[in-house]
């Protein structure tokens, strides 16, 4: 048993095929946890599962769009069937499309960003909840954002969705603390992932990310975010519940 208490636990990481999620999936596996990587990207997810297995760990992939209830259900079913339940849920998958100001946000952008960044974590949490409540020491960790804490250049829909994640985190913490389920979030600043450092022109739209990243003073490594996710899920954080922890080199200070 490792000191984190994560050895043998069943962990779901959404968006686990790349960036912060990949770093978290690999770190949980290194602690001895059994990981389900749920992601849209089949090739990238297969590479993560392969890397975990090559290192002696246990992982499965579930491929699909987590805003689809069927993919949500398959994710939970896979964790229960393959790993015996759900101890830790990491709601990390997200998109930062276009980043429009409210006046330029059309219905399509609004609905897609809210659906992927807020509704999908709601659906998966609701599906996993009965399984989490069966386990001692269960934990949920959300990847929120500095855009969960204040107005942000990441756009109206993204900022609204990420504030919604902060609300979900706090609501879950106060609702289920008596049953031993802890819920926390990390609030990353600019982190070197595909989303942030090398976004597609379609995702970037008319904006540039350079000033946004430079506000943080340094760009975070995904491993720094992953270490905090794993900490919040671990026994070391047993009295931390409802926290939204900035991991941003003081950006939000
Ligand atoms: P990333 O783009 O490297 O990883 C996101 C992963 O989520 C990808 O593997 C993608 O395929 C997956 N994904 C996206 N939509 C999905 C869907 N509908 N269903 C299933 N999988 C889906 O980006 P990164 O940076 O690792 O993002 C992870 C989280 O971190 C996101 O919630 C993001 O909003 C948040 N975040 C990132 C920051 C950064 O600077 N990179 C800063 C603050 C928050």
Q: Where do the domains of the chain lie?
A: 10-247
Q: Which atom of ligand 1 is nearest to the CA of 194?
A: 3
Cα(64)–Cα(42) distance, integer angstroms: 8
158 is catalytic: yes
At residue 78's C-alpha, the angle toward residues 74 and 83, to 5°, is 160
Neighbouring-strand partners of residue 191:
220
Is the ipTM higher than 0.90? The answer is: yes
**1: CA distance to ligand 1 center in Å?**
30
Task: Give me the half-sphere count of Cα atoms (radius 13 Å) on the Cβ side of residue 236.
Answer: 11
Cα(11)–Cα(46) distance, integer angstroms: 17
Instruction: Write down the pLDDT at residue 153.
Output: 81
**Nearest residue by C-alpha to atom 23 in ligand 1:** 195
The domain covering 10-247 belongs, at the CATH homologous superfamily level, to NAD(P)-binding Rossmann-like Domain (3.40.50.720)
Instruction: Write down the pLDDT at residue 1.
Output: 43
CB 96 within 8 A of CB 195: yes
**Nearest residue by C-alpha to atom 15 in ligand 1:** 94
Among 14, 20, 69, 248, residue to substitute to test ligand 1 (most atoms within 8 Å of Cβ): 20
| Closest CA relative to residue 200, chosen from 47, 95, 103, 67 | 95
**17: CA distance to ligand 1 center in Å?**
9
Q: List, run by run, the mean pLDDT of 10-residue segments along the chain (253 residues).
A: 84 98 98 98 98 98 98 98 98 91 96 98 99 98 96 92 98 98 95 66 52 64 96 98 95 83
Do the strands 88-91 and 139-143 form a parallel or antiparallel pair, or are they unpaired? Answer: parallel
């Amino acid at each position: 048993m490792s000191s984190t208490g994560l050895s043998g636990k069943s962990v779901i990481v959404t968006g686990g095929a790349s960036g912060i999620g990949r770093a978290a999936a690999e770190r949980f596996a290194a602690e001895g946890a059994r990981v389900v990587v749920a992601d849209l990207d089949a090739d990238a997810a297969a590479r993560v599962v392969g890397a975990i297995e090559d290192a002696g760990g246990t992982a499965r992939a579930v491929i699909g769009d987590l805003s689809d209830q069927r993919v949500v259900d398959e994710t939970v079913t896979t964790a229960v069937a393959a790993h015996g339940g759900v101890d830790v849920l990491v709601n990390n998958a997200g998109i930062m499309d276009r980043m429009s100001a409210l006046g330029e946000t059309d219905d399509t952008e609004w609905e897609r960003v809210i659906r992927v960044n807020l509704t999908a974590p709601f659906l998966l949490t609701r599906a996993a909840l009965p399984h989490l409540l069966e386990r001692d020491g269960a934990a949920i960790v959300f990847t929120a954002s500095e855009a969960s804490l204040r107005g942000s250049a990441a756009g109206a829909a993204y900022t609204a969705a990420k504030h919604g994640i902060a609300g979900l985190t706090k609501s879950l913490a106060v609702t289920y603390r008596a049953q031993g389920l802890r819920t926390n979030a990390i609030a990353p600043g600019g982190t070197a992932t595909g989303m942030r450092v090398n976004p597609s022109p379609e995702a970037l739209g008319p904006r540039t990310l350079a000033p946004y990243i430079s506000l943080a003073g340094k760009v975070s490594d995904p491993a720094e975010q992953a270490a905090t996710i794993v900490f919040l899920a671990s026994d070391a954080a047993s009295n931390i519940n409802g926290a939204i922890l900035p991991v941003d080199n003081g950006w939000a200070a």
